[in-house]
Amino acid sequence: MDQKLQELLYSKGVFRHYQGYEYFVRSVYMVLENPERLQHMYKELYLPIALEYKKDVRTVEKNIRKVRDVFVKNGGTSLLAEMGGGKFWDDKTPYPREMIEIFAFYLKGQDNGTARRILIKCCENL
């Protein structure tokens, strides 16, 4: 699973030299452990990662957004659409929670439309 995640990120120019790389990878694994964490990003993902790496929570959040921005800039939305089973971001950038969720469900091997249905349900509640 580690290698697949690395390949996906590397394919869109997100390499280990980005500080947010480790934070993003950690957040994907945390969501794999407990998908409910997506409902409380700050408390359940950003804060534990900040404590683990001894960083400010805002730094963790900013660096994960940077990973997202690099991924999208390098054509990552088409890969997300492929992984998630549909196109969601014609005119906007995905939220970090959306990207983390799609990566987690894809890596879990549940990419049979499950990530897409959950994402749509999540967005309907906003």
pLDDT of residue 2: 81
SS3 assignment, position 14: coil
Helix, strand, coil percent content, the chain, rounded in steps of 5:
75, 0, 25
Domains of the chain: 2-124 (1.10.10.10)
Encode the chain (126 residues) as per-residue pLDDT tens digits.
Answer: 688 999 999 999 999 999 999 999 999 999 999 999 999 999 999 999 999 999 999 999 999 999 999 999 999 988 888 888 777 666 678 899 999 999 999 998 844 444 445 444 444 444
Residue type, 76: G
pLDDT of residue 122: 45
Note every long-range contact of 41-49, with CB atoms under 8 Å and residues 24 or more positions apart, other chains counting: 41/96, 41/97, 45/100, 49/23
- Supply the pTM of this predicted model: 0.83
Structure tokens at 8: 């996906």
Q: Count the neighbouring beta carbons within 10 Å of the beta carbon of residue 26.
A: 17
- Rounded to whole angstroms, how far apart are CA atoms 99 and 84? 9
24 backbone φψ class: left, alpha, beta (φ>0; ψ -120 to 50):
alpha
Check residue 87 and give its pLDDT: 72
Looking at residue 90, what is its pLDDT?
64
- Two structure tokens written together for 57: 């929570």
